[in-house]
Every structure is written in structure tokens, then in C-alpha cells.
């Protein structure tokens, strides 16, 4: 079984579409109501422009050769993810290691135990990630991901109250961080290109590569 499916194997709840009320950091976070944006806002971060174009190119140079050897996977009925290929990496060249240590220093407390391999997920333009909660057995309280090549929308839906949701705009070269409640109490998903509308604005979802760091369960 693929690494990702080991990590992503809890509930798959369909997202619910309701009228949108934006609030607060409407540039990158909108939600079903302003209280939710305020309450969960501190556990959700989107840092735009976290890496430069040169840094994105350095990551791509290092990742593309191993990704290109794989095929995109489609149409497995039980998969949490559609139209993807993936890899994981422990050893990085100096330029990429520097980027990843910056990610770790903003996302995780000093001394946290991190999952050794960094997970790399390459979504085809037609690919998407269905709603899921990362397995508590394999992943700790924090998920931090860099978005390469494309803007995208991550949707969070409250597991026990599906009318409560947040949409995060993840611009190309941004870093997102999900912590605590945002990680445990909400499903997260990456929307299909054709569903990618953020706060009323269409967002073109192209091929997208994410580079994801996680900590270990406490
Ligand atoms: O591609 C992403 O940034 C999200 C990946 C994801 O859903 C996960 O790793 O649980």
C-alpha cells in the first residue's frame, strides 16, 4: 500500500457547500462564519511567498527525476487521492535542506520529534485529494506543506458539524501549517481544478507538488 494511504486513512466525509461568509484574513482564509475563522484561525497558517522562485526551482530540480519515473495513479475507487504520484525523501541537497529547516523552524517547536522522511505529493492537473483526517497513529499534531507549481484551495470541514468549514487559499510557493484542532477536528482536502473557487474568485489549479513535513504522535 502506498505511503500516503497509510497516513490518510480516517473518515472521508464529503464536503458540504453552503453560502460563503468571509471574515478576517479573507485574503487567504474564509469560512462558514466569522467566529469559526477567529477560533480556528490561530491553528491555521498560510505564509505566502515562503520560498523564492529560485528555491522552488531548486526543489523541483531535486524532485522531478524521481517523480518522472512514476506514473500518475487514477481511478482506485477506495483511494483518498486521485491523479497523483508520490515519493518520500530523507536526504536533501544543501539548498533544499536549508529550505526545509526554515519550514521546520516555523512550524514545529524546538525539540519536536519529526517524521524522518519528507513526503512529496505530485497532483496532476486533474488530480485532487478527498476529505480525510491524517491517521493519529502515524502523524502528530502538526502538518506543514509547501505548495509548488500551482495555486490551490485546501478545504477544512468540521468532522462533527459539516456545515462548518474553512477554505484556505494556498498560493504557489506558500507554506501552510495545520495544527491541533484544525488537524484533528476537521477533514482537509485539495479541491479539483473545476471546483477551485476561493471567496468567489476562480483559481486555476495546475499540476501541483506539495512537500509535507509532519511531527510524530506525542
Ligand atoms: O498536498 C497537500 O498539501 C495536502 C496533503 C494532505 O492532504 C496530507 O498530507 O494529508
Ligand 1 centre distance from Cα of residue 39 (Å): 22
Ligand 1 centre distance from Cα of residue 124 (Å): 14
What was the pLDDT predicted at 21? 39
Write the pLDDT tens digit of every residue in 51-87. Answer: 999 999 999 999 999 999 999 999 766 688 999 999 9
Helix (H, G, I), strand (E, B), or coil: what is residue 152? strand
More confident residue, 172 or 80: 172
Residue nearest to atom 10 of ligand 1 (CA): 134
What was the pLDDT predicted at 97? 97
Rounded CA-CA distance 133/78 in Å is 15
Domains annotated for the chain, with CATH where assigned, are: 3-214 (2.60.120.590)
C-alpha cell at position 114: 519529526
User: Mean pLDDT across the stretch 187-196?
Assistant: 98
Write the pLDDT tens digit of every residue in 87-144. Answer: 999 999 999 999 999 999 999 999 899 999 999 999 999 999 999 999 999 999 999 9
Rounded CA-CA distance 214/145 in Å is 9
Ligand 1 centre distance from Cα of residue 81 (Å): 9
Q: What number of helices (H) and strands (E) belong to the chain?
A: 5, 12
Ligand 1 centre distance from Cα of residue 99 (Å): 18
Residue nearest to atom 7 of ligand 1 (CA): 189
Q: How confident is the model at residue 198 (pLDDT cuts 50, 70, 90)?
A: very high
Amino acid at each position: 500500500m502506498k505511503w500516503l494511504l497509510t497516513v490518510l486513512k480516517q473518515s472521508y466525509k464529503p464536503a458540504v457547500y453552503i453560502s460563503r461568509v468571509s471574515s478576517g484574513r479573507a485574503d487567504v482564509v474564509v469560512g462558514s462564519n466569522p467566529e469559526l475563522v477567529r477560533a480556528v484561525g490561530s491553528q491555521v497558517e498560510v505564509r505566502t511567498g515562503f520560498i523564492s522562485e529560485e528555491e522552488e526551482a531548486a526543489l523541483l530540480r531535486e524532485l522531478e527525476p524521481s517523480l518522472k519515473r512514476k506514473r500518475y495513479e487514477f481511478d482506485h475507487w477506495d483511494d483518498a487521492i486521485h491523479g497523483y504520484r508520490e515519493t518520500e525523501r530523507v536526504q536533501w541537497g544543501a539548498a533544499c535542506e536549508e529550505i526545509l529547516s526554515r519550514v521546520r523552524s516555523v512550524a514545529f517547536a524546538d525539540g519536536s520529534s519529526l517524521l524522518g522522511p519528507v513526503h512529496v505529493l505530485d497532483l496532476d492537473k486533474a488530480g485532487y485529494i478527498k476529505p480525510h483526517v491524517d491517521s493519529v497513529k502515524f502523524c502528530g499534531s502538526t502538518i506543514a506543506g509547501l505548495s509548488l507549481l500551482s495555486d490551490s484551495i485546501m478545504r477544512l470541514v468540521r468532522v462533527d458539524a459539516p456545515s462548518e468549514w474553512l477554505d484556505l487559499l494556498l498560493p504557489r510557493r506558500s507554506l501552510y501549517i495545520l495544527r491541533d484542532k484544525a488537524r484533528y477536528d476537521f477533514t482537509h482536502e485539495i479541491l479539483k481544478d473545476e471546483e477551485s473557487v476561493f471567496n468567489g474568485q476562480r483559481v486555476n489549479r495546475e499540476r501541483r507538488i506539495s512537500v509535507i513535513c509532519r511531527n510524530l504522535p506525542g
